[in-house]
């Protein structure tokens, strides 16, 4: 059995990058030279990224980043796939590397207590711990930890309001309950636990390395994870050992298809699914149909598609 040829590296770091805008061009140029695809977000508060390519090329980009004293301890998580997880390379400048919309929350200074994957089960088995999944509702839908609370949010920026409105948390606010939070790779947890501490919660914990590190580290027979973990690339979802899962993606809303969605009359490949059918106009659907047609033509011709650049003469 041949080893998958595409290496995916996910990484982030909260650090004061005062010159983050000046870093964009050189970083994009290097990734394009090394044929690395994916997305890198740069902001004053740090860097957040998932990139993929051949192992040598991905590690070349990581080495370039770690040559900077501010990023020399940058940690990353690796996974493998048989097909390219991304089709284009983007480096974007943002106000936040993960958008919460709450000023003066500094994960670099205020984040909660890190809990390693091997210690996570013991923590969340404590009946006094309130376990919160900080991800979006469609991520929770395909998998989460047993007993985790689903805030039912559409985006991470809705989490602060949920915290303020949560009867479970507010009723216990005077007792300062222990709160454990988790997310895909750890970045949302760092920001959410920093926010919780700013509200006066003292015993706040988060899963170091996120769900991905837990699934990579903890054997299935010892795991309290149920289902699969949604990832923001062409793998769609992963299971224990970070093996690509069984879920498919709606190309219109970029969310995982619900069970039996493909049998629904509202499903049209590349155009809509039951979740998003009512949110787009017929004009938008026609545009999606043309995009899907072009994608299928490119695939049949075995040509690059979806934003891939043609080689220079």
Burial 264-285 (b: 16+ CB within 10 A, else e): eeebbbbbbbbbebeeeeeeeb
Q: Residue 174 is encoded by which pair of tokens?
A: 């005077």
Decide if 183 is catalytic: yes
Centre a 10 Å sphere on the Cβ of residue 241 and count the other Cβ atoms it contains.
12
Q: Residue 153 is encoded by which pair of tokens?
A: 């949010």
Which is the catalytic residue, given 183, 189, 229, 273? 183
Give the Cα separation of 269 and 292 in Å (integer).
Answer: 8
Q: What are phi and psi of 161, to 5 degrees?
A: -70, -40
User: Comparing C-alpha atoms, which of 14, 17, 70, 11 is closest to residue 193?
Assistant: 14
Active site residues: 183
């Amino acid at each position: 059995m041949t080893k998958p040829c595409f290496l995916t590296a996910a990484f982030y770091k909260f650090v004061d990058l005062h010159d983050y805008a000046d870093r964009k061009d050189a970083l994009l140029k290097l990734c394009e030279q090394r044929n690395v695809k994916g997305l890198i977000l740069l902001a004053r508060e740090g860097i957040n990224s998932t990139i993929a390519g051949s192992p040598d090329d991905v590690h070349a980009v990581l080495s370039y980043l770690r040559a900077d004293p501010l990023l020399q301890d940058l940690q990353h998580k690796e996974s493998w796939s048989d097909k390219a997880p991304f089709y284009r390379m983007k480096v974007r400048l943002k106000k936040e590397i993960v958008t919460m919309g709450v000023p003066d929350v500094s994960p670099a200074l205020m984040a909660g207590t890190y809990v390693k994957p091997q210690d996570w089960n013991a923590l969340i088995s404590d009946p006094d711990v309130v376990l919160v999944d900080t991800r979006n509702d469609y991520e929770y839908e395909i998998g989460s930890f047993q007993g985790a609370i689903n805030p039912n949010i559409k985006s991470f920026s809705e989490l602060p309001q949920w915290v303020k409105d949560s009867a479970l948390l507010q009723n216990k606010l005077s007792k300062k309950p222990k709160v454990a939070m988790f997310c895909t790779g750890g970045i949302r947890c760092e920001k959410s636990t920093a926010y919780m501490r700013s509200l006066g919660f003292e015993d706040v914990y988060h899963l170091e390395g996120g769900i991905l590190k837990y699934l990579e580290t903890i054997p299935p027979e010892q795991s309290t994870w149920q289902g699969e973990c949604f990832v923001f690339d062409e793998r769609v979802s992963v299971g224990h050992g970070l093996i690509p899962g069984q879920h498919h993606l709606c190309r219109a809303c970029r969310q995982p298809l619900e069970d039996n969605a493909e049998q629904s009359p509202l499903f049209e490949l590349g155009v809509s699914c039951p979740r998003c059918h009512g949110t787009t106009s017929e004009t938008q659907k026609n545009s999606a149909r043309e995009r899907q047609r072009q994608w299928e033509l490119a695939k049949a011709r075995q040509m690059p598609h979806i934003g891939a650049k043609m080689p220079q003469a």
